[in-house]
Structure 1
Amino acid sequence: MTLSKNQQIENRRLIRRKEVQEKTGLGGSSIYAMMKKGEFPKCLNLSERRVAWLESDVDQWITERIAEHQVAIEMMEA
């Protein structure tokens, strides 16, 4: 599958922690703790004091949480 230019740009978008927090509902300390455990996407160092995440990585993490939730619901209903 070939991605359009808009999709390629969107998949490469860097987002800062505030936006990551808004998208996920997690707090900053939770994000860093989960990153340390390998449970959340790693951030990229932009400079000595600035980091960002690939939006596509965060979106994939959200998609995986939703899928896990749906599986758990299906198992409870079975």
Structure 2
Amino acid sequence: MSTTSIIPTPEQRLQILHVYGEKCDRLVREKERQYITSISRSTAWKLEKAGRFPQRKSLGAKSCGWLLSDLLYWINER
């Protein structure tokens, strides 16, 4: 899977959120990311570094999160 294939378009984001019954997109922190994807922090980091997992969004100097739609799209594409 290439890097560009895991970045959904705005339309794909809305569609995947609808499929999973989510009303809107939101940021997901590490604990929930791990629950949603069922992969460890280190595995997610390695996949992200290789361009095979959604990129984190910075929430400040010491925190980050992922868009829920990115994670759901990644799961759906696996």
Query: Bigger radius of gyration, 1 or 2?
Result: 1
Distance in 2 (CA, whole Å) between partners of 1:10 and 1:57 is 12
Higher relative helix content:
1
SS at match of 2:33: helix
Extract unaligned runs of 5+ from structure 2: 1-10
Partner of residue 38 from structure 2, selected from 25, 31, 36:
25
Task: Report the count of equivalent residues.
Answer: 60
Return 5+ residue gaps in structure 1 as ranges: 66-78
TM-score norm. by structure 2 comes to 0.69
- Is 2:66 aligned against 1:53? yes
Residue of structure 1 equivalent to 2:24? 10
Root-mean-square deviation (CA, aligned residues, Å) is 2.0
In structure 2, how many angstroms separate the alpha carbons of the residues matched to 1:27 and 1:57? 17
Calculate percent identity across the aligned residue pairs. Answer: 37
Higher-RCO chain (CA-CA 8 Å, sequence separation at least 6): 2
Moved over 3 A (4+): none
